[in-house]
Structure formats: C-alpha cells, structure tokens
Chain A
Amino acid sequence: MSEETKKNKDALLSVRDLEVVYTSSGAVVHAVNGVSFEIEKGKSLGLVGETGAGKTTIAKTILGVLPDPPAKVLKGEIVFEGRDLLKLSEKEMREVRGKKISMIFQDPMTALNPLISVGDQIAEVVSLHENCSNKEAAQKAMQMLEMVGIPADRYEEFPHQFSGGMKQRVVIAIALACNPELLLADEPTTALDVTIQAQVMDMISELQKKLNTSMILITHDLGVVAESCDTVAVIYAGEIVEYADKEELFLNPQHPYTLGLFGSIPSLTDDVDRLKPIPGLPPNPEDLPEGCSFHPRCPHATEACKKGVVSYVEAAPGHFVLCNHCKDCKKA
C-alpha cells in the first residue's frame, strides 16, 4: 500500500512496513506483519480487529513503550513530524511521549498509581514537559479535571475513591494535559459499562475536536468506530486487511473478514435464531498460515490464496483491500 498511497505531505504520522515480533523462550510471535498507514492532522483513524490482532502492539510501538526484552521491532518506519521515531534516542522519545503523542489505556482500574493523588498524576505530565513551577502545573491539572468533568476540589483524592468511568476521565485528562498532536486511545471504553461508554466517547470526541488532536482509536467495537472515526483500518493477524474512509467501509465492505465482521453483528430488527460468527479461530501468531492469513476461514479461498503473495487492491479511490479476489467477492 505504501507505494500506491500518494505520500501525503500533510500526514502527521506515517507508518511504513512495520514488523514487530515477541520472543519468549524460543518461540517467536509475529504480532505485526507489515503494517502501513497514515494519519492527517485533526483526523481520527480507527483500528478495528479482534483481540490479539496486534492493535495494541502498533500503538505501543508508536509511543515506544513496548516491553523491550520480549518485543522487538524487526523493520519499518514511523515518521512523525519529519523524524523516524524508531531511530530516536530514549531521551528524544521521552520528550515526545506525553507531549506530542500520548496514550489512553484500556483498563482504567489499574492505569493510575494508587498511592499518588489524581491531581498530582496529571500535574506530573505537565511538569515534565512545560517549563513551569509546581504551582502552575497543579493549576493546569485542576483545569484539566474540570475539562473532563471532575470538580477541581477533588485534586487531592486518590484513585480508589473514584469509579471506573471517573478514573478513565482522569486518564484522559493526563493524556490531553499537554495538548498533544496525536492521541492513541487503546479501547478506552471497553472496560466501562455502556451508558458511561457513551459519555466518555463523547467527551473524547469533543476534546479532540476542540484541541484539534489527531487520534488513533483502537477498538473491536464497530459501533464506536461509526461514531468517532474518519478512516478505518481493519486488522487481522497483524496486517491491515482493509482500509477506507468510514462511510465507504460501512457502505461497501470488501474483504471477506470485514464482511464476516459486519455479518456477525446481531440485528435489532430481524428475527434471527442464531448469531453468525466467522467460522474458525484466529491464527496462532507463532505459526501463521502461508499465503493469505485468512484463507483457512475464508469461504472464497482458492489455491492461489494458500500460497503466494497477497497484495493490496484499490477497490475504490482511497479504499484498499488485501485480497486477491476482492473484485470477485463483490460479485459473490
């Protein structure tokens, strides 16, 4: 896809041919297998896929917080503001983290340090990157608290005194405190209940628009994608199998996997006896299938799919599919 995409000079972040593996006691897990995408300023990209598809790994690689002994970046580039993040020194990366790129994590219950007050945890990121006094950092922290809907007088309280949703808001406040260019949100509402989910997602979207922050939203929930994202990338077995603008993807899904995903959503209107999951299981990342990684589960798989290389096909302008038969799929 990298050759075919026009190199967008306005792209804020450009990931090319990223490959990441985890090695533990001899076994090699291929987590990310040649991922490339771009994101523009102020836009949000949704990374959709099942658990274990490699989404979180991509996000952590961008931020450089992969646990280094097991994880290793084999190849690729991550160009941000003209620099390849993978080549930066640790010191340079530290300046990026929290300030230019920040991350919201999946589980709010454990994302905060239980021994430090929430206000101080927000102030910490401010003090790290802004040249200001502690008092000023604290004030900024209080502002952020208000911004996420928490009264500023709760500054001194500790994480255990907040509910899950509130904790997540604190995490968001930390992520946005220094007004980053890019926000990586890793399933920010998965651990929350549905009503809170809506609140939090609304808030994220609102803040994103207000501060003009780009966002990569990782999720397995197509509904969230529909609400909040501009472009969508569907990930399977460490590869992007389909990439398109949101409307295009929802109106015109091409890849058999994407079709399967949409097909498995329960319908509110129809009267159905059984759900329609995608048959089979996601592949073992230690032992990926040859050829197209989806072929064991694909109803349209042919001999060519089982061996040989699969390449991207542009089904429509800006809509890329990693499948040899996508034009044929449409017919099917």
Chain B
Amino acid sequence: MRKYIVKRILLMIPVLLGVAFLIFAIMTFTPGDPASIILGAGATPEAIEELQEKLGLNAPFLVRFFDYIKGIVTRFDFGTSYINGTEIRSEILMRFGFTFRIALLSMVFALGLGVPLGITAAVNRNTWKDTTSMAVALFGISMPTFWFGLMLSIIFALKLGILPPSGVGGIEYYIMPCLAVSMSGIASMARMTRSSMLEVIRADYITTARAKGQTEKVIIWKHALKNALIPVITQAGTTFGILLGGTLVSETVFSIPGLGSYMVTSIKSRDYPAIQGSVIFVAAVFGVVMLVVDILYTVVDPRIRADFSKGGKKKK
C-alpha cells in the first residue's frame, strides 16, 4: 500500500512537468505582454522593451522554462508577481485558503444533500419522491452559478437582510457562495447516487439479505449503500476538482479573493509567474485529490485492497 502511494506521488511529477510546459508555452505564444500593462497606457515602445528585457522575457523559451523549473525544484520558488511584486508562493497559498474553504463547504453540501437525495430517489423509485428529487437535481445542474449567486444575494442580503452580500469574514460570508457553487455538485451527486443505488438494489446479495430477515433500513444503509458508494466516490473526487475551478464565478460575484479570481486577474494582466504558479498548483491539488479518492477505494472495497496487498489469492 505504501509503495502504491509513493508510486502515485512520483507519477505526479511528470504530469506536473507536462502541465508546466504546456502553460508556459501557451503564455509565451499568446499575444499581449506584461510590460505594456505594467507601464500603463502612456508607455513608449522603448520603455516597454526595456522592461521586457528586465523581466527576462526576451530570453529563449527553453532557457526561461528551465530556469523556472529549476527555481521551483531547488528553492520551491515560484517567482515574484510582475504586477504585485509579491512572492507567488505565499500569494497562491493565501488565495487558495479561500477557494479551498468554499470548495470544501460546497463538497459538504454536495455530499450531505446530494447523497441522501439520491438514496431517497432510488429507494422510492417512480414515486413522487423520486420525481421531485430528480427535478431538484435537474434544476441544480441547469442553473448558472452566476445567476443563482446574484439571486441568492438579492433574496438573502437585500430582501431578507440576514446575510452579508459579499466579502469575506465569518462563516456567514461563505454560505451564499457555497450554496451557489454546490448546486451542480448536489445535482451530480444525487444523480450518481440514485443510479448506483438502483443497480445495487437489484443485486442478488440484497435478496440474500432480505431472505435472512433483515430490516429494510439496515439493507439500504448497510448492504446497499456501501456498495453503491464506490462509483459515488469517484464522482465525488471529480466533483471536488470541478468545484475548485468553479469557485471562480462565485468569487467574482461575492468578491472573495480566492485563487480563481487571482487567476483571472493574472491572465488579464499577463502576470506570467502568477498564472503558471496557479495552474501548476491547481493541477497538483487535483492530483492529490485523485490519489485520496483512490486510497479511499481501498479502504471501502476489499477487492481493490487485495490488489495492493500481497495479492488476493483464491483458495479452492
């Protein structure tokens, strides 16, 4: 097991290198240049060229890339922002703190509301409970986060006055952004849980459990759910990754200084180190999330656990 984890972590390195290379290339070949933005509208072409030289933008692509990677690997230094002058590393970590909070809370909503919704739908198949649950899910997935976020703000901040419209602070500042972001997560978790449960409920071992005289409740929660959760775990991992990216819209609407808005601002001002650092960071986080999901599988499913231990030998 440990070997597997180590192997996976090592595998992330070429992936991240690839991501770094890709984003570096995209930034280099995208029109628009940071020097003219730093200097502003009044800049002369000479001044711009001078600054480009100073920022090292005129060196050949591979040299710049190599230096960048070297900086990361040896000093864990992601460079300094062209616009801010601050260290990218600390800036990303601080911004990520906000994004992570939103993504995590949204995940809690997604799991806490989505999974039970899916179970209800599956267990009460083709009844009004099923139709309603799936309608809610459809609604959630169809609503654009931007619109929903503004609607929430108008309802809860403006009309009811119980939540602050935007900004950061205590937990009350995060409720609306998380609700807005989690809608699609709730929907996908509900649908996934429902279909997974429906499959599992028809399985033979469920009939065996019934034949033992087991109560429906235990059958659902112990026998069915445990098995149904396996595809749901995958979905949860992917959803979390999507949520990490999807918080951008919420951050804009609710003025939360998270990683998403940081990336957008950086892209607008062509702050190369910031963009590169953010992208690599998000890729790494996603990789870790996927690893955690895979490890969760082994915890939940003994068949997969067997693949990692000495091998599941079948005994006759």
Do A and B contact each other directly (Cβ–Cβ < 8 Å)? yes
- Which residues of A does B touch, CB under 8 Å? 63, 65, 69, 93-99, 102-103, 105, 107, 110-116, 124-125, 128-129, 154, 158, 160-163, 165-166, 171, 174
In the bound complex, residues from chain A placing their C-beta under 8 Å from that of B314 are 160-163
In the bound complex, residues from chain B placing their C-beta under 8 Å from that of A94 are 213-215
In the bound complex, residues from chain A placing their C-beta under 8 Å from that of B221 are none
Q: How far is the CB of A178 from chain B (nearest CB, A)?
A: 9
Q: In the complex, A166→B316 CA distance in Å?
A: 7
Contact among B126, B207, B306, B316 for A65, CB-based, below 8 A? B207
Q: In the complex, A125→B212 CA distance in Å?
A: 6
A113 in contact with B209 given A128-B214, A161-B314, A162-B315 (CB within 8 Å): yes
The yes or no answer to B302 lying at the interface (CB within 8 A) is yes
In the bound complex, residues from chain A placing their C-beta under 8 Å from that of B213 are 93-99, 125, 128-129
What are 9 contact pairs spanning A and B, CB under 8 A?
Answer: A65-B207, A93-B213, A97-B211, A98-B213, A114-B303, A129-B213, A161-B312, A163-B316, A174-B208
Closest to B302 in A: A158
Q: In the complex, A94→B218 CA distance in Å?
A: 13
In the bound complex, residues from chain A placing their C-beta under 8 Å from that of B302 are 114-115, 158, 160
Q: In the complex, A100→B223 CA distance in Å?
A: 22
Q: In the complex, which residues 205-229 of chain B have their Cβ closer than 8 Å to any Cβ of chain A?
A: 205, 207-215, 223, 226-227
In the bound complex, residues from chain B placing their C-beta under 8 Å from that of A128 are 212-214
Cβ–Cβ contact A103 & B306, under 8 A: no
Q: In the complex, A158→B305 CA distance in Å?
A: 11
The yes or no answer to B172 lying at the interface (CB within 8 A) is no
Q: In the complex, A308→B208 CA distance in Å?
A: 41
Count of A-B contacts with CB under 8 A? 89
Cβ–Cβ contact A65 & B205, under 8 A: no
The yes or no answer to B159 lying at the interface (CB within 8 A) is no
In the bound complex, residues from chain A placing their C-beta under 8 Å from that of B215 are 94
In the bound complex, residues from chain A placing their C-beta under 8 Å from that of B208 are 105, 111-113, 171, 174
In the bound complex, residues from chain B placing their C-beta under 8 Å from that of A102 are 211-212
In the bound complex, residues from chain A placing their C-beta under 8 Å from that of B212 are 97-98, 102, 124-125, 128, 174
In the bound complex, residues from chain B placing their C-beta under 8 Å from that of A97 are 210-213
Closest to A107 in B: B204
In the bound complex, residues from chain A placing their C-beta under 8 Å from that of B223 are 113, 116
The yes or no answer to B39 lying at the interface (CB within 8 A) is no
Q: In the complex, A116→B302 CA distance in Å?
A: 8
Other than the given A113-B226, A113-B227, A125-B213, 13 more pairs (CB < 8 A) read A94-B214, A97-B210, A97-B211, A97-B213, A103-B211, A110-B205, A113-B205, A124-B212, A129-B213, A160-B302, A163-B316, A171-B208, A174-B208
Q: In the complex, A97→B213 CA distance in Å?
A: 5
Residue from B209, B213, B314 having most chain A Cβ neighbours under 10 A: B213
Q: In the complex, A240→B226 CA distance in Å?
A: 41
Chain B 2-22 per-residue mask, 1 if CB under 8 angstroms from chain A, else 0:
000000000000000000000
Q: In the complex, A93→B216 CA distance in Å?
A: 12
Cβ–Cβ contact B209 & A161, under 8 A: no
Closest to A128 in B: B213
Q: In the complex, A94→B212 CA distance in Å?
A: 8
In the bound complex, residues from chain B placing their C-beta under 8 Å from that of A110 are 203-205
Q: In the complex, A124→B215 CA distance in Å?
A: 12
In the bound complex, residues from chain B placing their C-beta under 8 Å from that of A98 are 211-214
Q: In the complex, A162→B213 CA distance in Å?
A: 25
In the bound complex, residues from chain A placing their C-beta under 8 Å from that of B203 are 110
Q: In the complex, A154→B316 CA distance in Å?
A: 12
In the bound complex, residues from chain A placing their C-beta under 8 Å from that of B211 are 63, 65, 97-98, 102-103, 105
The yes or no answer to B75 lying at the interface (CB within 8 A) is no
Q: In the complex, which residues 99-149 of chain B have their Cβ closer than 8 Å to any Cβ of chain A?
A: 126
Q: How far is the CB of A65 from chain B (nearest CB, A)?
A: 5
Q: How far is the CB of A55 from chain B (nearest CB, A)?
A: 16
Residue from B203, B210, B211, B312 having most chain A Cβ neighbours under 10 A: B211
Q: In the complex, A103→B207 CA distance in Å?
A: 10
Q: How far is the CB of B268 from chain A (nearest CB, A)?
A: 50
Chain B 280-292 per-residue mask, 1 if CB under 8 angstroms from chain A, else 0:
0000000000000
Contact among A69, A111, A161, A166 for B205, CB-based, below 8 A? A111
Q: In the complex, A112→B313 CA distance in Å?
A: 18
